[in-house]
Chains A and B, each alone.
Chain A
Amino acid sequence: MSWSEAGLGDGLIAVRAVHFAATANTLGALIFRSLIAEPAFGATPEAVPVLAAQIRKLAWTSLVIAVLTGLGWLLLETMQITGLSLWDALTQEGLSTVVEVTQFGQVTVVRLALAVLLAISLAGERVWPVRRLTLVSALAFTGAIAWTGHAGSTAGDLGILHLVSDVLHLWAASAWIGGLLLLMSLLNSSARHQSAAWRKLEQNAVSRFSLLGIVAVSTLVLSGAINAWIIVRSWQVLLATAYGQLLLVKMAVVALMVAFACVNRLWLTPQLAATAAADASLQLARNSGIEFALGLAVFAIVGALGLQHPMIHP
């Protein structure tokens, strides 16, 4: 083995963290387009090309990163499972075995195919009306992550509940975190333009995003609680295992994110309507940036969390 066990483990954490963040931004950009931007465009036609281009750019960049880190994840996981070096894993049937016989390998191949479908659909949108396909393939590409981890290995009916809740968890995380960069850019544009039309678009988009955020956060907390209950099962495990403690750290960061979201919703959003000044827009954009950074920290924690497991049984 050319890599030390520790190096391999750290590599896996990093590649998973970036992969989660990238898939969330891919799906989040498309959800933002369907649920926030397009319905809010109406009164502000001059904003359409600006925002539409940004959405496509975010979706494309994130998709490319997601595919690259997805391949990296598959390679590192193959080295981990087979104990082969990188070169041997590629040349000595390590990769082909993992892809053919393990659930992780099969799901990864299906996900790569979904990424290709998503890319084709995204590229074809200008010619064909395939936006639904773009969104559906992004939902599938992201949701299928559930089958690669703990949710995919729980047996029986509980396994179905675990998968459903993990899929919802992944979608909700994407809708929230993946929309923040676009929201920021919209707020900054509005502050720059200082026009009534942009302000109207901004208010409309912000109130839609608040609603989306409330739904996403509720879904995340509920599905996260179900996931945690299935995996952790006792207060003792939550408090005394490395897994449980990492989960507690994650929940603390999430609490901080929710606090920022509440300040945005309850305090800054009303100011947006009350004053014509750009201050509220800029402050809202800055807070959304902090929320986004904390979201990235959560993805990093989850990168490690899914590799750990609590000692449920003696």
Chain B
Amino acid sequence: MRHPSRIWTAVLVLSLVTTEARAHAFLDRAEPKVGNTVASPPREVTLYFTQKLEPAFSTISVTNAAGQRIDSGKARVSGSQMSISLKPGGNGTYHVNWRVLSVDTHTTDGNFTFQVGQ
């Protein structure tokens, strides 16, 4: 190694940009897609994660543009995917909040929106 100090600088920089990695099951994709627009109010929302989930400790809530909860309250989990049925909620921006426990016992949460109409 001709420049050990450079290596140490690189290590230092890397550790500074290190994210405090606490998350475990990450949202891989969703249907309706994150940030996308769909023509009519969807019947349900499905989230696909990177790991298998524990049904008893995994929840989703969905609110419509008026801020009303329009999910059925009961999420269905199958392996690494989780779905919840929706009541008709009109047009506008829908907010999805999720909080899941993956099978490795680690909890993660997050949220995203999608648009309905136009």
Mark A residues whose CB is within 8 Å of B: 77, 80-81, 97, 101-104, 148-150, 152-156, 159, 239-243, 245, 306-313
Known: A155-B52, A311-B19. 7 other contacts (CB 8 A): A81-B57, A104-B104, A149-B104, A159-B52, A240-B17, A308-B21, A309-B23
Chain A to chain B contacts (Cβ below 8 Å), 18 pairs: A102-B56, A103-B52, A103-B103, A148-B104, A156-B79, A240-B14, A240-B18, A242-B19, A242-B20, A309-B23, A309-B24, A309-B106, A310-B21, A311-B21, A311-B23, A311-B26, A313-B28, A313-B50
Q: How near does chain B come to A31, taking the closest CB pair, in angstroms?
A: 27
User: Which residues from chain A contact B23 at a C-beta distance below 8 Å?
Assistant: 309, 311
**Secondary structure dominating the interface of B:** loop
CB-contact partner of B107 in A81, A153, A245, under 8 A: A81
| Set of chain A residues within 8 Å of B25, measured between Cβ atoms | 153
Assess whether B51 is in contact with A102, with CB atoms less than 8 Å apart. no
Give Cα A115 to B12, complex, Å.
45
B residues near A, CB below 8 A?
14-15, 17-28, 50-52, 54-57, 79-80, 101-107
Contacts of B106 in A (CB 8 A): 307, 309
Nearest chain A residue, comparing its CB with the CB of B24: A309
User: Is the Cβ of B17 less than 8 Å from the Cβ of A153?
Assistant: no
Note all chain B residues with C-beta closer than 8 A to A77. 105
Which residue on A lies nearest to B81, using beta carbons? A155
Measured between alpha carbons, how far is A103 from B53 in the docked complex, in Å? 10
Given A153-B52, A155-B52, A104 and B103 contact (CB-CB distance below 8 Å)? yes
Chain B residues contacting A309 (CB-CB under 8 Å) are 21-24, 104, 106
Could you tell me if B19 and A154 are in contact, using CB atoms closer than 8 angstroms?
no
Contacts known (A150-B104, A152-B104); A241 close to B27, Cβ less than 8 A = no
Residues on B with C-beta less than 8 A from A148 are 104-105
Residues of B within 8 A of A241 (CB): 18-19, 21
User: Which residue of A is nearest B102, CB measured?
Assistant: A153
A102 touches B105 (CB 8 A): yes
Q: Determine the distance from Cα of A102 to Cα of B22 in the docked complex, in whole angstroms.
A: 20
Q: B18 to chain A: which residues have CB within 8 Å?
A: 240-242, 245
B6 to chain A, nearest CB (A): 15
A154 and B52 within 8 A (CB): yes
* Cα–Cα distance between A312 and B102 once the two chains are bound (Å): 15
Which residues of the other chain, B, contact A156 by a CB distance below 8 angstroms? 79
In this complex, the member of B17, B50, B55, B106 whose beta carbon has the largest number of chain A beta carbons within 10 angstroms is B106
Residues from chain A with a CB closer than 8 A to the CB of B19 are: 240-242, 311
